[in-house]
Amino acid sequence: MAEEARLVQPVDGETFLIDLAYQGQPEGVGVYLLVDEHPALVDVGPTPNLPRLLSGIRAAGLEPEAIEYVFLTHIHLDHAGGAGVLARSLPRARFLVHPRGAPHLVDPTRLVQSAGRLFGEAMATLYGEVAPLPGDAVRALEDGEEVVLGRRRLVAVATPGHAKHHHAYWEPGRRWVYAGDVAGIALPGTAYVHPPTPPPDLDLEAWEASIDRLLALGPQRLLYTHFGWQDEPATRLEELRKRLRAEGAWVKEGLEAGLELDALVARYQARVEPELEAAVGPARARRYRLTVNGWMNVLGWKRYWERRA
CATH code of 102's domain: 3.60.15.10
Strands (E), 113-186: 138-140, 146-148, 153-158, 167-171, 176-180
∠ CA 274-226-174 to the nearest 5 degrees?
Answer: 125
Reported as a single tens digit per residue, the pLDDT across 133-160 is: 999 999 999 999 999 999 999 999 999 9
Residue 304 burial (C-beta neighbours within 10 Å; 0-12, 13-18, 19+): buried
Element (H, E) at 298: helix 294-308
What is the reported pLDDT for 265?
Answer: 95
Element (H, E) at 111: helix 109-119
CA distance 140 to 238: 30
Give pTM, 2 decimals: 0.95
C-alpha closest to that of 265 among 216, 238, 213, 300: 300
CA distance 208 to 306: 19
CA distance 85 to 232: 36
Which distant-in-sequence residues (6+ apart) come within 8 Å of 174 by Cβ? 12, 152, 220, 221
Half-sphere exposure of 138 (CA within 13 A, CB side): 22
C-alpha closest to that of 33 among 4, 59, 2, 1: 59
Reported as a single tens digit per residue, the pLDDT across 217-250 is: 999 999 999 999 999 999 999 999 999 999 999 9
What is the reported pLDDT for 1?
Answer: 43
DSSP class of 241: H
Which distant-in-sequence residues (6+ apart) come within 8 Å of 139 by Cβ? 94, 95, 96, 97, 102
| Strand pairing report for 40-42 and 69-71 | parallel
Q: Cis peptide before 227, with omega less than 30 degrees from 0? A: yes
Q: Calculate the CA 116 to chain-centre distance.
A: 19
Structural domain that includes position 238: 2-308
Count of structural domains, the chain: 1
CB 111 within 8 A of CB 75: yes
Write down how long the chain is: 309
DSSP H stretches of helix in 154-292: 204-217, 233-256, 261-280, 282-288
For every one of its 309 residues, what pLDDT tens digit does the chain have, with 9 covering 90 and above?
445 558 999 999 999 999 999 999 999 999 999 999 999 999 999 999 999 999 999 999 999 999 999 999 999 999 999 999 999 999 999 999 999 999 999 999 988 888 877 787 778 888 999 999 999 999 999 999 999 999 999 999 999 999 999 999 999 999 999 999 999 999 998 999 999 999 999 999 999 999 999 999 999 999 999 999 999 999 999 999 999 999 999 999 999 999 999 999 999 999 999 999 999 998 888 888 888 788 999 999 999 999 998
CA distance 73 to 214: 14
What is the reported pLDDT for 261?
Answer: 94
CB 98 within 8 A of CB 139: no
What is the reported pLDDT for 77?
Answer: 94
CA distance 114 to 116: 5
